[in-house]
Structure 1
Amino acid sequence: MKRIFFIALLLTSANIFAQDTEVLFNNADKSITIGATISAPKGHNSGNAVVLVSGGGVQDRDGKMAGHPYFKLLADYFNSKGLTVLRMDDRGIGKTTGQYDLATTADFADDALSAIAYLKSRKDLKLKRIGLVGHSEGGAASAIAAAKSKDVAFIISLAGLALDGQSSLKFQNEDLVANAKISDIDKKRSNEINNLMFKTAYQYVDSVNMEQKLNDTYNEWKKKDDAYFKTLNIEFDHFRFPVYSYVMNAVKPWYRYFLKFDPVNFLPKVKVPILAINGDKDLMVRSEVNLANWKNLPLKGGNKDVTIKQISSMNHLLQHCITCEPQEYAQIKEAITPEVFETISKWLEANGLM
């Protein structure tokens, strides 16, 4: 990795567990300025640190999702265990420059490595080991980063992705559709067009004609679907596929990279301790298949130091849930279930990190 050039260091505020410092630093090629907060623990300091790596969708450094500041809560937790925490604004939000929708999971992995390089340069922090804590897509970015650099000392994956992009999209949409309050007929139609579009996008992922091919696929399906619907003798058709927004997103760099992403290319190269926690009611990242990959792919590379944990009735945002649909996230008062913290605490202690 190239040298990181520092921009500024500004003292901001303190919290119960730590002294917060706002920092700015550049990524490796100096194309992006990253805004972040470093929280150094008060009292007990283990000399270890974590960088928080966010999931899909642009987020600020506090990781505000469904009204809960997830990353701020995680920072407070790790500080209480004696770990220093760096949490950063995603590209294009807060004090981080760049355009989020032009970046890929690999770019987010590089941003995490830039954050580690910055922490290592801060001799005043006297850090021994620096790990990555990734949520959702941030788990995949953490795996990419750890496969690329020995600077990553450990990984904690929270609802983290360890499945290839095409399968992940397929399972995610099937699970969301299965839980949706729509008719069985519309569920069938939804799965049919989703899978057709995913297959077409994958087939033409490196083609300049991807947009045209996706539109052709949709138009051909629509003709057949219209004919099918007429046979049902239903007065009104409420089913809609958002073809315009789908195609516009699919042709961008993130989607193209994600379709080709395969953890087989990264996780066997990860030689550091891993903790992976997923919820069995997660509709965005299917628990069983992802946890299996977190366990088995590092093992292919000889890494047996992997702990996996499935938590019952937990959704993608680490909350105990009832319907577990995304619409429910904001209605749940609990931000992060205590079982997540309990699992992390045991693992930190077992690995001498707290």
Structure 2
Amino acid sequence: MKSLVPLLLVIGLTSIAIAQGNKPTIDYSAPANATFTAEEVTIPAKGYTLAGTLLLPKNAKRPLPVVLTITGSGQETRDEPVPFPHLEGYKPMRQIAEALASRGIAVLRVDDRGVGGSGGRDTLMTATSSSFADDVRAEVAYLRTRSEIDPKRIALVGHSEGGMIAPMVAASDPQIAAIVSMAGDGKRGDLISMDQIKDALDHAPGVTPEIRAQQIAFEQEAINAVQSGADLSKYPAQVRLPWLKEFWTYDPQATIRKVRQPILLMQGSLDRQITPEQAGMLEQAAREGGNKDVTKQIFPNLNHLFLPAKTGTVDEYSSLATSAIGDDVLKIMGDWLVIKLKVKR
């Protein structure tokens, strides 16, 4: 039996996410009686444009601080929905954006390239996390052109892969004011993939020790082939993607050591995709790099989606009791950003 189980967790949802981007137009307008406005914006990138929604608080003192949200792996639209039954209401980036805008912080959330209203679909087969970081840099550059925005008070909030991309951008741009990493990768992707396949096999029914050993060996063989530049023709098409090669070789700890801005690391204790100890790895690496303003917050009984869970496994996603991020997550993030961005009301 030859298959790469973790690829479903890491990149296997990409085609579904792309299909989501082709659904009818979504209403991104502000709720009735909101204390902020919602403006549809178009952002120039490298050979294509990106589409997003900019929330602007109505009564806050200008120029405004702003948060730019960064979605996780797979091509996601700006609200970061997930393709699981009973989680149709899961829109974490919209929740975060509206909560922060209600506290006087502007928020820009953007469709990833190739989905929703964004162009660049023809670049996806060659794109990497570093490529997506360039898109974020284009979004930051756009925000700096807006008269309503204070260019010295721009923060990044990234989830999952977005939590890995945020340090990439901050490390190369000292004008970024702060970053929030929600379940961002804390170690090299090949190690994460091995963790994921072992966990998936341990919880899969009918997996014998022989099958488990075979699966793990095949995964390691694929990793070795990708890292060494060997012939990949016998492996699934996903294994040949440049994105995966970077994922399996990129060291997020090396990058976060270069980040000098304030960092908030947020993690669910039941996260089975990016395990909780990885937040500690990032915290240690950032402090080793000389950053003294690092905060780590572990939320009990939350999974990778920052939703209440019992086991944290992907199989459980379809039976979760709620699709809404808890008020505690939004409050802790909001309180921290209000301080770091020096919000004036």
Q: Taking structure 1 as the reference length, what is the TM-score of the superposition?
A: 0.80
Cα displacement (A) at 1:133:
0.4
Contact 2:75–2:115 under 8 Å retained in 1: yes
**Secondary structure at the residue paired with 1:204?**
helix
**Secondary structure at the residue paired with 2:233?**
helix
Query: Pairwise mapping of residues 236-275 of structure 1 onto structure 2 (< 5 A)?
Result: 247-275=236-264
RMSD across aligned C-alpha pairs, in angstroms?
2.1
**Secondary structure at the residue paired with 1:254?**
helix
State the Cα deviation string for residues 284-305 of structure 1 (Å, max 9, x = none). 11111x1122211111221111
Contact 1:157–1:277 under 8 Å retained in 2: yes
Query: Pairwise mapping of residues 92-241 of structure 1 onto structure 2 (< 5 A)?
Result: 92-99=114-121, 100-180=124-204, 182-183=205-206, 185=208, 189-190=211-212, 192-205=214-227, 207=229, 209-212=231-234, 214=235
Report the CA distance shift for 1:190/1:338 in structure 2 as closer, same or farther (over 3 A). farther
Contact 1:45–1:83 under 8 Å retained in 2: no
Other-structure match for 2:81: 64
Contact 2:35–2:57 under 8 Å retained in 1: yes
Other-structure match for 1:283: 272
Give distance in 1, aligned partners of 2:308 and 2:112.
27
Q: Taking structure 2 as the reference length, what is the TM-score of the superposition?
A: 0.82
Cα displacement (A) at 1:313:
0.8
Cα displacement (A) at 1:266:
0.9
Stretch moving more, 43-52 or 165-174: 43-52
Report the CA distance shift for 1:206/1:131 in structure 2 as closer, same or farther (over 3 A). farther
Contact 2:180–2:263 under 8 Å retained in 1: yes
Query: Pairwise mapping of residues 256-335 of structure 1 onto structure 2 (< 5 A)?
Result: 256-288=245-277, 290-332=278-320, 333-335=322-324
Report the CA distance shift for 1:250/1:302 in structure 2 as closer, same or farther (over 3 A). same
Contact 1:17–1:42 under 8 Å retained in 2: yes
Other-structure match for 1:24: 42
Other-structure match for 1:78: 100
- The one-letter code matched in structure 2 to 1:148 is S
Other-structure match for 1:7: none
Matched, 1:346 2:323: no
Give distance in 2, aligned partners of 1:86 and 1:126.
13
Which structure: larger Rg? 1
Other-structure match for 2:19: none
Aligned length: 305
- The one-letter code matched in structure 1 to 2:169 is A
Give distance in 2, aligned partners of 1:84 and 1:321.
31
State the Cα deviation string for residues 197-238 of structure 1 (Å, max 9, x = none). 2343334335261234x4xxxxxxxxxxxxxxxxxxxxxxxx
